[in-house]
Structure 1
Amino acid sequence: MIHIGLIREEKQPQDNRVAFTPKQCQWILHHFPQVRLYVQPSAGRCFKDEEYEKAGALLQEDLSHCSILMGIKEVPSGKLIAGKTYLFFSHTKKKQPHNQHMLQTILEKKITLIDYECLVHADGQRILGFGFFAGVVGAHNGLMAYGEKTSTFHFKRVHTCHDFQELINHYFGIKLPPMKIVITGSGRVAAGALEIMGLLGIKYLPPEEYLINQYTYPVYTQLKAGELYLRKQDKTYSRADFHAHPEDYECRFLPYVTASDILMNGIYWDHNIPPLFQAADIQKENFRIQVIADITDDTQGSVPCNLGDSTIADPVYGVTKNTLDMTAPYLPDTIDMMCVSNLPNELPRDASQYFGDQLMKYIFEELLKPESEIIRNATITTAGRLTEKFAYLEDYAKGLEEPSIK
């Protein structure tokens, strides 16, 4: 018998998402009779404890008998149980400073850490993520901020909706003013933003038309990586080469700052990739963008006026154009920034169902096998050691290296 526990989210602020919904637990118990599922009670979870009990899962505070423990966000060091296999988003593979101590504790306690972010298909594409609903909520929040800034329309807050369907119903009858929106990226985040564009009837335009024309209705364009970045030497783009040598590429976004009212940023970024624009560009008269929904949310990353995370409770802050200082939003001289790092928490039931579906389709059976290449490639630590693939984290784990940025 394989005992699997769904742990309570303990990181603050507490996350309300889950790896498996009650109905997904019910499906697993029916199709995998060798599995027992245990759920740690939680008042903060988006599904009630009673829903899990009705589905056949066992509510239990002590999960020390479970060999596999599954959560969503990082587990505080004091809550980690020695010798177990954990699955969660550890946010350690980029040497994030705030999780250095947690990784050290994981190694000390001889825990096997499988990171959801590192689970990939054979072609390297990520299997799991909440990006789609981050894109949905981020796009809504960006439009909401623009409506407030211009006093032209008003959106309700996503987290007040029971689910995605209620949010869709909210859009009925809302007429948006003329505006131009540029969306960057082509992954799950961008797909979520495009979903909102479709639900609101915002018209797509090819980039070249978007740049030169004005419209009496809302429009958007989408810039994928190959349209945003070109190799300096020969003005071409190769995905593999770009990720291997981003320093050889230049960003082609700058013309869009003079043509757009809203930027919805869903592009992948790391510290070697040039930003979409420079801080100095913001101070120029022709910088038109008024609202930026930085959905991928890297502090001073691809968007240099991202000065840090905002929160679900207070999702938008202003950045003064002249001094780039953080201030109140919706002032005449501000760019208004939406930089919430946990956007899917505003639609936790839908986001959890989407995540759990992918987990069941591609990972769960692999997890039960004695050996799995997919699982092995996502395993950061085992038996008190870093695995070969993640050996580059050794100095970070030992505290011998300065942690990198977020």
Structure 2
Amino acid sequence: MPDTLCLWLRHETRPNEHRAALVPADARRLVEAGIRLTVEESTQRVFPVHEYASVGCQIAPQNSWPSRCPAQGYVLGLKELPDLPARLRPRHIFFGHAYKGQTGAEALLRRFEAGGGVLLDLESLVDADGRRLAAFGHWAGYAGASLAVLHRRGRLVAPLARLSRPELDERLRCSVAGESLTAVVIGAHGRSGRGACEALRTAGVEPSRWNSAETRCLDRDALLAHDILVNAIGTSVPVGPFLTEEDLYDPRRRLSVIGDVTCDVGSRLNALPIHDRATDWEHPVERLCRRPTALDVIALDNLPSLLPAEASRAFSAELWPLLLELREDSPVWERCLNAFRRAAGSLTDE
């Protein structure tokens, strides 16, 4: 390890990605600990760059990491990298979504292979028991359930725009006269599930909370009898489908909105194979069928960006102490590295 640890917080190139892996207050903590922290300018990050400069960070132009990040540094981000450079180096920390057979996973791993770089995937930042140590789950669940409720009430406005929690909560509390909504959250005990339940309660909807006991012998009739389904499971092994094509056309179906927070589309872990692509901020809702009644799905894979300030602060609070351990041979980061090595080692020769 170099004497001075170099971290480079990159600009997020994905449209509508307003979050930051590190917020200015926690960036200060790292700078005070002796870490050299460079922050790229960004036209969309919820925290202005001058707030990072004021706590001692160096500032660089956006998207300058390919040419300016030190060879022994770490490029820190959240969502996917731009298509170039084709050869990736040095070391990157972000949500790579590359270990479950997702679309584009092999191409990303081959870019690291070509450049000799390393991916320390934030999804693999876990303790010895496999529990995630830094995650956006709570706010993903909160945003996903909120959008489902707003859509069910006919009050979801597209394209989506980022909000503060007070703004979103004000919208959730505006219920429809005479309304009696029912909702089920699958994976209710996890981070995302707890966030979803909190949002539903804010909206005046007391959810049914399902977990592994309820899905082990799934009661589809009971599931279809709800107005809203929020899928918030976290799993590393395939599970049986919660809904099938046949269920969509069941004449008894009351279910009209699915909030797919987990959004494992394109993966063998997808528990909702009735849809196969994510939605986006311009078109957040996809109609799955019209009969016997309309059934829609919301499947955004960057839900916490709807509440970027709250989500970033919560995530950064969990991440910054772990970044201090990059100075040492930490078991936490060693597990991340080993996960990357296993995935890269599984690539076949072209």
TM-score for both structures, normalised by structure 1: 0.76
Deviation at 1:163, TM superposition (A): 1.6
Amino acid at match of 2:73: S
Equivalent residue for 1:367?
326
The aligned runs of 1:225-304 (5 Å cut-off) are 225-229=212-216, 251-268=217-234, 272-299=238-265, 301-304=270-273
Correspondence for 1:166: 167
Say which of 308, 322, 329 aligns to 1:348. Answer: 308
> Any idea what SS the aligned residue of 1:97 has?
coil
- CA drift of 1:103 comes to 1.2
Partner amino acid for 2:60?
A: Q
Work out whether residues 182 and 222 of structure 1, in 8 Å CA contact, stay in contact via their aligned partners in 2: yes
Aligned residue identity for 2:74: I
Correspondences of 1:287-326 after superposition (within 5 Å) = 287-299=253-265, 301-321=270-290
* 1:183 Cα deviation after fit: 0.8
Aligned residue in 2 for 1:76: 82
1:281 deviation in Å?
A: 2.0
Cα deviation for residue 158 of structure 1 reads 10
Structure 1 letter corresponding to 2:209:
Q
TM-score of the two chains, using structure 2 as the length reference: 0.87
How far residue 15 of structure 1 moved from its aligned partner, in angstroms, is 2.5
What letter matches 1:275 in structure 2?
P
SS at match of 1:263: strand
- Residue type of the partner of 1:29? V
Within 2, Cα distance between the matches of 1:173 and 1:288? Answer: 22
Q: Displacement, 1:298? A: 2.8
Q: State the Cα distance separating 1:74 from its structure 2 match.
A: 2.3
Say whether the 8 Å CA contact 1:164–1:347 is kept in structure 2: yes
Preserved CA contact (<8 Å) 2:150 2:172: no
RMSD of the TM alignment (CA)?
A: 2.5
Distance in 2, matches of 1:122 and 1:101, equals: 29
- Structure 1 residues 393 and 56: CA distance shift in structure 2, 3 A: closer
Q: Once the two structures are aligned, what percentage of the paired residues are identical?
A: 25
Number of aligned positions between the proteins: 336
Distance in 1 of aligned mates of 2:204 and 2:54: 40
Larger Rg computed on CA atoms:
1
Assess, with a 3 A threshold, how the Cα gap between structure 1 residues 95 and 303 changes in structure 2: closer, same or farther: closer
CA offset at residue 6 of structure 1?
A: 0.4
Equivalence for 1:7: 10
SS in 2 for 1:378: helix
Spell out, residue by residue over 1:269-309, the C-alpha distance to the aligned partner (whole angstroms, 9 max, x if none): 56731101321122121122111111112338322322421
Distance in 2, matches of 1:284 and 1:263, equals 16
1:394 partnered with 2:337: no
In structure 2, the partner of 1:202 is 205
Matched, 1:111 2:113: no
1:151 maps to none
* Structure 2 match to 1:187: 190
Q: CA deviation at 1:95?
A: 2.8
After superposition, the Cα gap between the structure-2 partners of 1:271 and 1:358, relative to the gap in structure 1 and judged at 3 Å, is closer
The answer as to whether partners of 1:291 and 1:337 remain within 8 angstroms in 2 is yes
Residue among 293, 317, 321 paired with 1:357: 317
Q: For structure 1, which runs of at least 5 residues remain unmatched after alignment?
A: 149-153, 204-219, 230-250, 323-331, 401-406
After TM superposition, give the deviation of residue 14 of structure 1 in Å: 5.8
C-alpha separation in 2, matches of 1:129 and 1:80: 28
Match of residue 27, structure 2, among 14, 25, 28: 25
Give the secondary-structure state (helix, strand or coil) at the position aligned to 2:153. Answer: helix
1:101 match: secondary structure: helix
Alignment-mate amino acid for residue 166 of structure 1? E
Q: Partner letter of residue 168 of structure 2?
A: L
Counterpart of 1:379 in 2: which secondary structure?
helix
Retained in 1: the 8 A contact 2:279–2:299? yes
